[in-house]
Structures are given as structure tokens and as C-alpha cells.
């Protein structure tokens, strides 16, 4: 079992190094391949993509938070209703 974890760790490290090398080398290769105007377009599109991803993340996080608040309200209302029904039953029984 321990060797299995070591193999997974080595594979993960190699994959991380490969992805990191690609992520760093890509912009430097683009400097050589693209013109100045094309690099501006790539830079602006990258900013737009990051902004869009951030907005989607924030929207999903806000939706999750609103759902949690809605669920808490529903549970609170349900507990109040159960208490009210129990009181009424006790009054009817008495």
C-alpha cells in the first residue's frame, strides 16, 4: 500500500511539472510567434476569460448561500409549525 502511494505521488509530481512547464513556456513561445497587436488581443481575451470565470464562480457561490438561507428559513418555519400543532393538541386533549 505504501508503494502505491509513492507511485501516485511521483506520477502527480511529474504531471504537475509538465503542466507547469507548459503553462510557463506557452506565453514565451507566443511572444516569438505573434505580432504585438495579436499579443494585445491574447492578453485582453485572457483577462475577459478570467473575469467570466470569476463571475460564474461568484454567482454559483451566491446561489448556494441563498439556498442555505432559504433552507434555514424553511426549517425554522417548520419547527414553529410543529410547536404550534403540539400546543394545540395539548389544549385539545386538556
Under the banding of pLDDT at 50, 70 and 90, the label for residue 93 is: low
Q: How confident is the model at residue 94, as a pLDDT?
A: 60
User: What does pTM read for this prediction?
Assistant: 0.53
Going from N- to C-terminal start, the domains of the chain cover 1-33, 35-94
| pLDDT tens figures, 6-59 | 999 999 999 999 998 888 887 777 777 888 888 888 889 989 999 999 999 999
Sort 39 into a burial class: Cβ within 10 Å, 0-12 / 13-18 / 19+: middle
- Asked if residue 69 has pLDDT above 90, the reply is yes
Q: How far is CA 38 from CA 1, 9, 70, 80, in A?
A: 51, 39, 48, 63
- For residue 69, give the C-alpha cell: 438561507
Rounded Cα distance between 20 and 16, Å, is 6
Who has greater pLDDT, 66 or 3? 66
Residue 92, pLDDT > 80, answer no
Amino acid at each position: 500500500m505504501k508503494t502505491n502511494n509513492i507511485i501516485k505521488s511521483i506520477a502527480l509530481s511529474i504531471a504537475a511539472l509538465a503542466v507547469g512547464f507548459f503553462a510557463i513556456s506557452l506565453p514565451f513561445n507566443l511572444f516569438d510567434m505573434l505580432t504585438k497587436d495579436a499579443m494585445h488581443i491574447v492578453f485582453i481575451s485572457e483577462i475577459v476569460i478570467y473575469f467570466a470565470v470569476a463571475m460564474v464562480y461568484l454567482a454559483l457561490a451566491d446561489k448556494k448561500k441563498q439556498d442555505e438561507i432559504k433552507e434555514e428559513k424553511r426549517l425554522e418555519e417548520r419547527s414553529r409549525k410543529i410547536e404550534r400543532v403540539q400546543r394545540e393538541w395539548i389544549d385539545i386533549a386538556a
